Structure 1
């Protein structure tokens, strides 16, 4: 029976994607060693986060989504092993009341909160990128991360990026030894981040396979500016989070642009100054609170990369990325229309393999196939019904012909046989 639960509640853009991919990749092996990775799918965790944060978007989702948090809680309580881990970064935005209500579902268990964090200066451009993927068209140099006042919907702002703010809200009622702050190392191998996270979740003695393929979701300065200019266009039905996540984020940003450009981008002096002040305040609060730190708090100190702002990239450089984007999308469209990558186009398929675009196309293809299968079944039934109708009409025609033959010419036995045939075959 579960004794301990670790709530990894963020912050976003602090290595959470890597950590979650390691957890999912090792789900079965961890379960055999007494560790549950809760949430059967990423979508289930997204919906669970909506429930915890009382997100208004939940109203537009089916009833099953409203029970997502209940299902995650049930998985934890029903697990026969010792430990459960719930990892979803946008839980970071929850209000104190919402966090308290979520943790109350684990009364009787030893509950820990884990907050991952990183260089807050570099977090600024990362947060701006995430907003780009949901149709933001404000240039980076003119953008500021939203403050605390926007509440749980400020998913890419200081409310979620400031580790002290997150730990304050989620760890308010917990002993300090059960609140963990994990810092992402600035540079170095991903293994170091995993080791720090594993120490926080008491997983250091657990066998883990870290051989997972890299996931490239970051945009370079040129690619980011191309996406921003796309967002300035009239995109018709691509509105709302679901449409934007499917087409702008998964298809265009992750599926194409992330592989075309890796130029680092800078931030403005004003953005750096704000990030430095936030970092100093966060480090001071973490030390004052006495929460458990895994890593080095200097990793939170705000710095900025040497690089241009995306809006400073010349038009001719943007044109190059835009043309290559069109070429990639054209190849993807061709493959989708054929249903599979052709043998003579292996290189293009390899470049796109594993991207979310392929997954989206696969889901779309399966949906189309299911629809066509259902239509074919209905058409076959309709055809069979038509054949039976034609047979009945033919039989009725034969009967009418018999009845209309002059009485003198009728053969009584033949007439009776026609009636029997009609009744047995057509009625």
Structure 2
């Protein structure tokens, strides 16, 4: 029987780890479990997702990859067992786009949807950091204020001074109630699978990887090729340093290509991620209270919808009480230390500048003066 699973994210729920591990183990998965992870390169899944939504991802839709989805579709059509599509950008697909995808997959006997979901207490700092890594300037508290306001409620009323809040990107990718409803209308709620991201200290055999494969009844044992554990989180002080840098490096000052290569590639990827780090900034008391109530409403909606849950819905609950991970905003001294350490690391990594003509001329003049003094000294003896 031909069954297709579409993993729609959500972003910042371990999707990159899952996709990397699936890709590295795709041959083993095909041989041992009949699981096809299609594509010729791993980025094919990205191109398939953005070409489904050309209006939404106009900057990323490259005509050179227009044939990627038809090729992947041909691979899936030819495979009589389980196939898996995976990219977090499927989470933003509209109802019309989902219907178009279902029409493309109409040859399959069944189509299922998998959503990996994580609690707000972990998602909010993670998404905020991702925004900061992409030139956003809002502080963490401003970000959570915006998210709460967009959800229809703001902890402790309006923002200080009653000033309007600039909406920060969040719910379009993280409103798992609305996202799941759109997909359920096309595949049926019984074929929607919610995989909760386990908290720290989960027992062996109950990791996100194990839960994800359990949806498809895949034995993880033969899929033994590991993936490197990459640190993709910034400490509270590192994130605040980068946010301050963003205030000086907005699009009217720096082109995206330069920001992406120097800030994202070198400063973040090669220096901050490699430096000794600490925990990210956590929720304030008022924001934790809001997140606890919002999470309860969202979990109740998932439970009422009747989706298949792999894991436990309690993984999505947020305690209204202060917890140890609620790290306060960093001090100015801590941020300055990160800034100085980062500059020092960049100096050590920078190539030596070329000696220019003026420098060579100055050096030659100094040498001439030394020679003249040496000749004068010998004559005076």
Q: Cα distance 1:136–1:54, how it changes in 2: closer, same or farther (>3 A)?
A: same
Match for residue 256 of structure 1 among 271, 280, 298: 271
Instruction: Establish whether residue 88 from structure 1 lines up as the match of residue 87 from structure 2.
Output: yes
Q: Cα distance 1:251–1:6, how it changes in 2: closer, same or farther (>3 A)?
A: farther
Q: Distance in 2 between matches of 1:32 and 1:300?
A: 35
Report the counterpart of residue 159 of structure 1 in structure 2: 172
Whose RCO is larger (CA < 8 A, sep 6+)? 2
Contact 1:47 1:58 in 2 (8 A): no
Relative to structure 2, which stretch is displaced further, 91-100 or 324-333?
324-333
Instruction: Establish whether residue 204 from structure 1 lines up as the match of residue 210 from structure 2.
Output: no
Match for residue 318 of structure 1 among 335, 341, 348: 335
Deviations 1:66-114 (A, max 9, x none): 4443333233224x35111111112112222222222221102111100
Secondary structure at 2:114 match in 1: strand
Report the counterpart of residue 306 of structure 1 in structure 2: 325
Q: Distance in 1 between matches of 2:351 and 2:241?
A: 23
Report the counterpart of residue 179 of structure 1 in structure 2: 192
How far residue 160 of structure 1 moved from its aligned partner, in angstroms, is 2.0
Q: Cα distance 1:35–1:81, how it changes in 2: closer, same or farther (>3 A)?
A: farther
- The 5-angstrom pairing of residues 257-276 of structure 1 reads 257-260=272-275, 261-276=277-292
Deviations 1:29-56 (A, max 9, x none): 1233322223433433333222222345
Contact 1:16 1:89 in 2 (8 A): yes
Match for residue 291 of structure 1 among 307, 321, 324: 307
Unaligned runs of 5+ in 1: 338-427
Task: Provide the aligned length of Structure 1 versus Structure 2.
Answer: 327
Q: Distance in 2 between matches of 1:320 and 1:59?
A: 37
Report the counterpart of residue 6 of structure 2 in structure 1: 7
Q: Distance in 1 between matches of 2:229 and 2:331?
A: 30
How far residue 322 of structure 1 moved from its aligned partner, in angstroms, is 1.7
How far residue 318 of structure 1 moved from its aligned partner, in angstroms, is 1.4
Contact 2:6 2:113 in 1 (8 A): yes
Report the counterpart of residue 65 of structure 1 in structure 2: 65
How far residue 59 of structure 1 moved from its aligned partner, in angstroms, is 5.5
How far residue 206 of structure 1 moved from its aligned partner, in angstroms, is 6.2
Q: Cα distance 1:32–1:333, how it changes in 2: closer, same or farther (>3 A)?
A: farther
- The 5-angstrom pairing of residues 256-405 of structure 1 reads 256-260=271-275, 261-303=277-319, 306-309=325-328, 312-334=329-351
Report the counterpart of residue 217 of structure 1 in structure 2: 232
Q: Cα distance 1:59–1:262, how it changes in 2: closer, same or farther (>3 A)?
A: closer
Q: Cα distance 1:65–1:252, how it changes in 2: closer, same or farther (>3 A)?
A: farther
Q: Distance in 2 between matches of 1:238 and 1:171?
A: 42
Report the counterpart of residue 26 of structure 1 in structure 2: 25
Contact 1:159 1:165 in 2 (8 A): no
Deviations 1:128-150 (A, max 9, x none): 1111111001111111338489x
Q: Cα distance 1:156–1:283, how it changes in 2: closer, same or farther (>3 A)?
A: same
Report the counterpart of residue 145 of structure 1 in structure 2: 147
Instruction: Establish whether residue 54 from structure 1 lines up as the match of residue 42 from structure 2.
Output: no
How far residue 170 of structure 1 moved from its aligned partner, in angstroms, is 1.5
TM-score with structure 1 length normalisation?
0.69
TM-score with structure 2 length normalisation?
0.76
Q: Cα distance 1:290–1:66, how it changes in 2: closer, same or farther (>3 A)?
A: same
Q: Distance in 1 between matches of 2:89 and 2:182?
A: 13
Q: Cα distance 1:167–1:322, how it changes in 2: closer, same or farther (>3 A)?
A: same
Q: Distance in 2 between matches of 1:123 and 1:316?
A: 27
Contact 1:220 1:258 in 2 (8 A): no
Larger Rg: 1
Contact 1:117 1:163 in 2 (8 A): yes
CA RMSD of aligned residues (A): 2.9
Unaligned runs of 5+ in 2: 153-166, 355-381
Secondary structure at 1:46 match in 2: helix
